[in-house]
Amino acid sequence: MAASVRTTAGERLPSRASGLLYGIGLGGFVDGIVLHQILQWHHMISAVDGQDPGTLAGLEANTVADGFFHVGTWAAVVAGMVTALIAWRQGRIAPSWSFHIGLVVAGWGLFNLVEGLVNHQILGVHHVRDDLGAPLSWDIGFLVSGVVLIVAGRLLHRRGVRDLEQRGARRAGPADGG
């Protein structure tokens, strides 16, 4: 239903799916590039028995797992691109910066929240910092960052929705037609 919301000028609002998918994919890229590759705090399966990245075999297994993780984040970005193209072909209006960036930020937060709950807590395949004696504090910080990004993104997105609705109201003119 939210996808078919219209401005007062009758225009269909932009797709929310594309911004969220971009955010999920780009958030995953930030995690993989910064935490896995640059800082080397963890890899995808670095907490799995026998997959210690401190050994050559463990590093090889983790590198392959990181590669599959990046394929998934790349697929989310491609899906965001496809949904944006579909929305444009449907004649939806272009998103404002705050509408779109708000969704990207919220998508990044959604990535952090889901990845943090599933991989860090439920499956336990890795933690934010595997090399420390108390990884739970880092994991909680990662989850909190997800919540903060979701809230900030939602607020920014709602501002963008209001801006688009007001823009549509200005185009529609007064209700009496004058």
pLDDT tens for the chain, 178 residues: list them: 344 455 555 678 899 999 999 999 999 999 999 999 999 999 999 999 999 898 999 999 999 999 999 999 999 999 999 999 999 999 998 899 999 999 999 999 999 999 999 999 999 999 999 766 778 999 999 999 999 999 999 999 999 999 888 876 666 555 544 4
Domain assignment present for 2: no
Helix, strand or coil, per DSSP, at residue 177: coil
Separation between Cα atoms, residue 66 and residue 60, nearest integer Å: 10
Enclosing domain of residue 47: 14-171
What pTM was estimated for this model as a whole? 0.86
Domain assignment present for 3: no
pLDDT value of position 178: 40
pLDDT value of position 161: 93
Domain assignment present for 149: yes
Domain assignment present for 77: yes
pLDDT value of position 6: 58
Domain assignment present for 9: no
How many structural domains compose the chain?
A: 1
Domain assignment present for 131: yes
pLDDT value of position 177: 45
Angle (deg, nearest 10), helices 17-30 and 56-89: 160
- Give me 18's structure tokens: 């594309």
Q: Where are the beta strands (DSSP E) in 53-103?
A: none
Domain assignment present for 7: no
Domain assignment present for 6: no
Q: Alpha carbon of 88 to those of 10, 13, 38, 133, 157: distances in Å?
A: 16, 11, 37, 50, 19
